[in-house]
């Protein structure tokens, strides 16, 4: 432990972090602080204490394991802006600001679990899995289904998210988001695509209470990819699959429309990349 106080723990190793997690169930786990600190300031959230993972070196960095990228949960988003996955690169490069990305982590983005968080559609489309570690061991769960409601995940008591595993795609992956400004904006809506071997998979942000994908959308996207369907078909399928919020930033109608546009554009990019489109 670099620092230990009744309301603050700063472990250096994963072991110390897990022990602290067990000892301090009420503490808020904080990595970069870029979500937690504004939460305390703006969203009236209170915390009983911090367990900071910021100095656990083992959680930072990316390795390759077989066909998967293993991204430590404490890896800063800035490091993902050069990731080998096009979707991750794009999502990371448009997250927050350059000054935020140096501290924001992939783990924080996942665990904060709001539907507009940048990295989530990419992880969902890419078929990512999560390493959840507790004092008793590690379990690996699909990211699909991990977020159960805005801000709510399947993380169990005593568990920490320790790594995100992302299949290394040989195909095409991309991400795009729409907002009301040209930099530094929360996604009004967002979308990610992965296409490989003629099959497209899409996922959406702020298209419902949790990151969203659907088999019907992927079927329509794949059909568009190989020319068996029209853009209008995909847009109609997306419109039926999503349930976006209505708020002062945008209407649900606009979001539904924009999700369809993004879906078509991303699949079209995948088709061009595969030499299938114009």
Partner 1 sequence: MFANMATGGIGASVRRPDGPAKVRGEFSYAGDLTAEGMLIGVTVRSPHPHARILGIDTTAARAMDGVHAVLTVDDVPGDRHFGLVLRDEPVLADGVVRYAGEPVAVVAAVDAATARRAARAVEVTYEVLPALTDPQLALTAASIHPDGNVYRHVSYSCGDPDARGVVTVENTYRIGMQDPAFLAPEAGLARPTPDGGVAIEVATQWLHSDQKQIGWATGLPPEKVHVSLAGVGGAFGGREDVTLQTHACLLALATGRPVKIEYTREESFLAHRQRHPGTIWLRHSADADGRIVSVEGRVLLDGGAYASTSPVVITNTVTLLQGPYRVDNGRFEGWSVRTNNPSCGAMRGFGVPQAAFAHEAQLDALAAALDLDPVEVRLTNALQRGDVATFGQRFDAPTPVREVIEGLRAIPLPTGPAKLPGGVGRAAEGGTVRRGVGWAVTMKNLAFSEGHVDESTAEVSLRDGHATVHTACAEVGQGFVTVAEQVARTVLGATTVEVVQPDTLVASAGSTSASRQTMASGTAVYRACLAVRDRLLGRVARAHGLDAATLTVADGVVCAAGRPLGPVATAAPGQTFRATEHFQHPATHPLGSAEGGMYVAFGFSAMRAVVDVDVELGLVSVVQVASCQDVGTVVNPVQLRGQIEGGIVQGMGLALMEEVVVADGLITNPDFQDYLIPTIVDVPEVVSTYVTDPEPGMPHGWKGVGEPPLVTAVPVVAAAVRAATGLPLPAVPIKPEHIALGIGAAPTVTWTTPRPADPDRPRGAVIDEEPHDAPGTMAEEGAPSG
Partner 2 sequence: MSAVEDPRTDVAGGTDGADGSVTFGLTVDGTAHEVTARWDESLLTVLRDRLGVRGPKTGCAHGRCGACAVKADLGDGGHVLCACLVPAATAAGGTVETIASISGPDGALSDVQEAFLAEGAVQCGICTSGFVTAATELLETNPDPTRPEIEAALYGNLCRCTGYGRIVAAVETAARTRRAATR
Site for partner 1, rule CB under 8 A: 38, 41-42, 90, 93-94, 174-188, 190, 248-251, 253-254, 257-258, 261-262, 265, 268-269
In angstroms, the CA 17 to CA 52 distance is 8
In angstroms, the CA 122 to CA 124 distance is 5
What is the chain's alpha carbon radius of gyration, rounded to the nearest angstrom?
Answer: 19
Contact partner, 251, from partner 1, partner 2, none, Cβ < 5-8 Å per class? partner 1
Contact partner, 47, from partner 2, partner 1, none, Cβ < 5-8 Å per class? partner 2
- Asked if 183 touches partner 2 (CB under 8 A), the answer is yes
Shortest distance, position 156 Cβ to partner 1, whole Å:
30
SS3 assignment for the chain: CCEEECCEEECCCHHHHHHHHHHCCCCEEECCCCCHHHHHHHCCCCCCCEEECCCCHHHCCEEEECCEEEEECCCEHHHHCCCCCHHHHHHHHCCCCHHHHCCCEHHHHHHHCCCCCCHHHHHHHCCCEEEEEECCEEEEEECCCCEEECCEECCCCCCEEEEEEEECCCCEEEEEEECCCCCCCCCCEEEEEEEECCEEEEEEECCCCCCECCHHHHHHHHHHHCCCCCHHHHHHHHHHHCCCCCCCCCCHHHHHHHHHHHHHHHHHHHHHHCCCCC
Contact partner, 34, from partner 1, partner 2, none, Cβ < 5-8 Å per class? partner 2
- Asked if 70 touches partner 2 (CB under 8 A), the answer is no
- Asked if 251 touches partner 2 (CB under 8 A), the answer is no
Shortest distance, position 30 Cβ to partner 2, whole Å:
6
Contact partner, 240, from partner 1, partner 2, none, Cβ < 5-8 Å per class? none
- Asked if 63 touches partner 2 (CB under 8 A), the answer is no
Contact partner, 22, from partner 2, partner 1, none, Cβ < 5-8 Å per class? none
User: What residue has token string 């990419």?
Assistant: 122
- x/- map, 184-213, partner 2, by CB under 8 A: x-----------------------------
Contact partner, 13, from partner 2, partner 1, none, Cβ < 5-8 Å per class? none
Selected binder of partner 2 within 20, 21, 24, 52 (CB under 8 A): 52
Of residues 7-46, which lie at the interface with partner 2 (CB under 8 A)? 7-8, 10, 30, 32-34, 36-38, 40-46
Residues engaged in binding partner 2 (CB under 8 A) = 2-3, 5-8, 10, 30, 32-34, 36-38, 40-50, 52, 54-55, 57, 60, 78, 96-100, 102-103, 183-184
């Amino acid at each position: 432990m670099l620092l230990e106080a009744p309301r603050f723990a700063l472990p250096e190793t994963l072991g110390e972090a897990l022990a602290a997690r067990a000892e301090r169930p009420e503490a808020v786990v904080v990595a970069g602080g870029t979500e937690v600190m504004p939460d305390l300031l703006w969203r009236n959230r209170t915390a009983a204490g911090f367990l900071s993972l910021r100095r656990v070196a083992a959680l930072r960095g990316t390795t390759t394991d077989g066909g998967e990228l293993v991204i430590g949960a404490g890896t800063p988003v800035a490091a993902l802006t050069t990731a080998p996955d096009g979707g991750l690169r794009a999502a990371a490069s448009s997250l927050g600001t350059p000054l935020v990305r140096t501290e924001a982590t992939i783990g924080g983005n996942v665990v904060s679990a709001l539907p507009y968080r940048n990295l989530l559609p990419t992880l969902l489309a890419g078929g990512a899995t999560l390493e959840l570690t507790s004092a008793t061991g590690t379990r690996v769960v699909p990211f699909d289904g991990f977020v159960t409601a805005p801000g709510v995940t399947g993380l169990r008591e005593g568990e920490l998210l320790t790594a995100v595993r992302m299949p290394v795609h040989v195909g095409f992956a991309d991400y795009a988001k729409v907002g009301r400004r040209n930099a530094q904006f929360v996604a009004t809506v967002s979308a990610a695509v992965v296409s490989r071997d003629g099959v497209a998979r899409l996922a959406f942000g702020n298209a419902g209470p949790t990151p969203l994908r659907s088999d019907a959308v992927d079927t329509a996207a794949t059909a568009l990819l190989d020319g068996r369907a029209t853009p209008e078909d995909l847009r109609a399928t997306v419109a039926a699959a999503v349930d976006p919020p209505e708020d002062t930033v945008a209407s649900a109608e606009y979001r539904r429309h924009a999700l369809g546009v993004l879906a078509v554009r991303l699949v079209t990019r995948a088709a061009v990349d595969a030499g299938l489109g114009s």
